[in-house]
Amino acid sequence: MNMREFEQTIKTSATPVIVDVWAPWCLPCRATKPLLEELAREYEGEVAFLAVNADESPEVARAFKVMAIPTLLIFEQGELTQRLVGAQSPGTYKTLFARLAGETSAETAATPAIAPGERLLRLGAAALLFTIALAQGVWWLGAIAAGMAFWGVYDRCPLWRTIQSRLWRA
């Protein structure tokens, strides 16, 4: 797909468009592709899904400064509004499609962006690192532990969501 075809597809879409920039040699891309395609079928007519092979369409990847794959580019009303870099949890993808489709059901709202086991692992590692920082008196290790703890709960922080949405619009 060349850049002109891509822009035409994005500009003429009546629904939000999720663009998956991927490559066949990318293992995380191959792992997330079936889930994204399943969600695209589930939300057909409400959210458009477009897969762009970065090897076959490098001009598209270059135009949107895609530095890593997989990358999801989210377009609403023809404008790039959000970018997700790297493989995400199934809950993150489900929440993204549901939000773009205009769903606000309790089930969608209750779907965590981070799986409970993953959240527990992140918070546990942060607690362990913080304990080591306190025992050794190393302040910078405590700062890293605080960052890890935030990494375990960032999806529940309204301030972070506001900042993130404004960053991707810029």
DSSP 57: -
Q: Which of 82, 72, 73 is nearest to 32 (CA)?
A: 72
Q: Which of 66, 45, 43 is nearest to 54 (CA)?
A: 66
DSSP 154: G
DSSP, collapsed to helix, strand or coil, labels residue 105 as coil
Which residue among 29, 48, 54, 114 is the active-site one?
A: 29
CB atoms within 10 A of CB 49: 19
DSSP 77: T
Told to judge if 157 belongs to the known catalytic residues of this protein, a careful annotator would answer no
CB atoms within 10 A of CB 165: 11
Which residue among 18, 26, 39, 96 is the active-site one?
A: 26
Tell me the C-alpha distance between 124 and 163, whole Å.
Answer: 26
The first and second tokens of residue 126, run together, are 């942060």
Q: Catalytic residue positions? A: 26, 29
